[in-house]
Amino acid sequence: MREIERKCLAELIRIVERIYDQLSNGQVPELDVATRTKKNIEFKEESEVWVYGDRTSVRSAKSVKGANMILRMLYVIGFLKEQLNQNKSSTLRELYYISEGWGLAKFDEQDESDRLIEDLEILTSFQREHFHIRPEEDGATIIGPIKIREETRRGTKEIHCQDDVGEGGYQIPVDVDKIEFVECDAKFVIAVETGGMRDRLVENGFDEKFDAIIVHLKGQPARSTRRLLRRMNMELNLPVVVFTDGDPWSYRIFASVAYGSIKSAHLSEYLATPSARFIGILPSDILKYELPADKLTDEDIKALRSILTDPRFNSDFWRKEVNLQLEINKKSEQQALAKYGLDYVTDTYLPEKLSELGLV
């Protein structure tokens, strides 16, 4: 067991000891966990990311719901202790099904077990990867002028993410901290929301022409993807730009990369890249480039109004763009740029955006 895993296990056991001490002293067991809402995130000047504030929610055995949560937590900690001692791992989905044999502690749905793992991350200040809990395969990939050294079951291997991979690129591992950057000739990283647009950039040779590392976000990016972006930014000093569709859900994708997500604000200093810049489709781009567009749905409008109250978007830039989108009542996709031909995105749109940032 690695040192970090021993420390992680010690923190998990400390939670059990706390509950035991409360029971021994005749107290009703309870735990305070940070409230995971946008009203409880605040900007941390030192690291320039959004983290949880002081608001907490009490999980108390005074209620049946609270008692059940604490019971489930104890079962999960017991399972994690055994897993760490045996050097085994499991997925979030497997954890949910494992609880089938836990009687009253059984989870009714996976969201409950996922949230409990997040609670344990907050209470211990360790990540689920340290618990040996991993998500299902994400499939996000990178392609570009960078060589990576990776530890595998069969030993160490080096992979050049242009020469040694297929058109899909190098698949990002769950534990990004186990890989090492060997060589890098890139000038910047472009994180792309959709697989179709990633394929367009690769087919058009964007990575070779602009010395760019192309990262496929695969929609809302997994932690491993966000961690890799942060590492390339911090360790290789590579600027990161995010290229998405022009809708509220895509703006939230950018926010999770740059500002940290509300759901995992306890990990913002580990996952977020505060200097990341948005070069996706903006409402002003829909007008400027006369892009094909769809009308906003009721859910889109609700999400845009929510963004206006989200402290992560509290800037003149975002307020102006979101209000413009509500005014024109339109949204547009990355692929709408194909209106001007398949090469337009790599020959015109992206070079213009990158030039504004001084990257080309």
CATH number, domain with residue 167: 3.40.1360.10
Pair (94, 187) in one structural domain: no
Please indicate, yes or no, whether residues 69 and 120 belong to a single structural domain of this protein.
yes
Percentage of the chain exceeding pLDDT 70: 99
Residues 266, 130 share a domain: no
For residues 61 and 67, the answer to whether their CB atoms sit within 8 Å is yes
- Which pairing describes strands 277-278 and 240-243: parallel, antiparallel, or unpaired? parallel
pLDDT tens digits for 29-79? Answer: 999 998 888 888 888 887 777 788 888 888 899 999 999 999 999 999 999
Question: Do 78 and 174 fall within a single domain?
Answer: no
Q: How far is CA 123 from the centre of its chain?
A: 20
Q: For residue 135, count CB atoms less than 10 angstroms from its CB and return exposed for 0-12, middle for 13-18, buried for 19 or more.
A: middle
Residue 137 pLDDT: 59
* 254: pLDDT strictly greater than 90: yes
- Least trusted range by pLDDT, from 248-252, 319-323, 338-342: 338-342
pLDDT of residue 155: 80
Decide: 104 and 71 in contact? Cβ < 8 Å: yes
pLDDT at 136 over 90: no
Percentage above 90 pLDDT, the chain: 71
pLDDT at 266: 86
On whether both 87 and 177 belong to a single domain, the answer is no
Position 138 confidence tier, pLDDT thresholds 50, 70, 90: low
Convert the pLDDT of each residue in 80-124 to its tens digit: 999 999 988 888 888 998 998 899 999 999 999 999 999 999 999
Residue 69 near residue 115 (C-beta atoms within 8 A): no
Same domain, 258 and 155: yes
In this structure, what CATH number is given to the domain that contains residue 106?
1.10.10.10
Give the pLDDT confidence score for residue 123 in this predicted structure. Answer: 93
pLDDT average, residue stretch 226-251? 97
Mean pLDDT is lowest, of 61-70, 167-176, 214-223, 271-280, for: 167-176
Per the residue annotation, which of 52, 75, 96, 97 is the catalytic one? 97
123: left (phi over 0), alpha (psi -120 to 50) or beta: alpha
Q: Are 143 and 213 in contact (CB under 8 A)?
A: yes
pLDDT at 315: 93
The mean pLDDT of 283-295, rounded to a whole number, is 95
Q: Determine whether 97 is an active site residue.
A: yes
Confidence tier at 284 by pLDDT (50, 70, 90): very high
Provide the token pair at 170: 């190098």
Q: 129 with 153, same domain?
A: no
Report residue 232's pLDDT band, with 50, 70 and 90 as the boundaries: very high
- How far from the centroid of its chain's Cα atoms is residue 298's Cα? 26
Q: What is the mean pLDDT of residues 10-32?
A: 95
pLDDT computed for residue 267 by the predictor: 81
**Contact present, 294 and 330 (Cβ < 8 Å):** yes
Is residue 238 a contact partner of residue 186, using CB atoms and an 8 Å limit? yes
- Residue 263: band (very low, low, confident or very high) from pLDDT cuts 50, 70, 90: confident
Separation of alpha carbons 61 and 69, rounded Å: 8
In terms of residue numbers, what domain contains 324?
A: 141-356
Domain end point (choices 134, 155, 184) = 134
The residue-averaged pLDDT of 11-29 equals 95
Of 85, 119, 134, which residue is a domain's last? Answer: 134
- Stretch among 49-53, 301-305, 329-333 having the lowest mean pLDDT: 49-53
Residue (of 249, 321, 251) closest to 283 by Cα position = 321
Write down the pLDDT at residue 139.
66
User: Is the pTM value of this prediction over 0.85?
Assistant: no
Instruction: Decide which of 134, 161, 187 is a domain's last residue.
Output: 134
Q: What pLDDT, on a 0 to 100 scale, did the predictor assign at position 148?
A: 96
Give the model's pLDDT for residue 88: 87
Q: Which of 133, 72, 82 is nearest to 106 (CA)?
A: 72
Please count the structural domains in the chain.
2
- Confidence tier at 317 by pLDDT (50, 70, 90): very high
CB 310, CB 40: distance < 8 Å: no
Q: DSSP readout, 314-338?
A: -SHHHHHHHHHHHHHTEEB-GGGGG
Co-location of 107 and 204 in the same domain = no
263 with 311, same domain: the answer is: yes
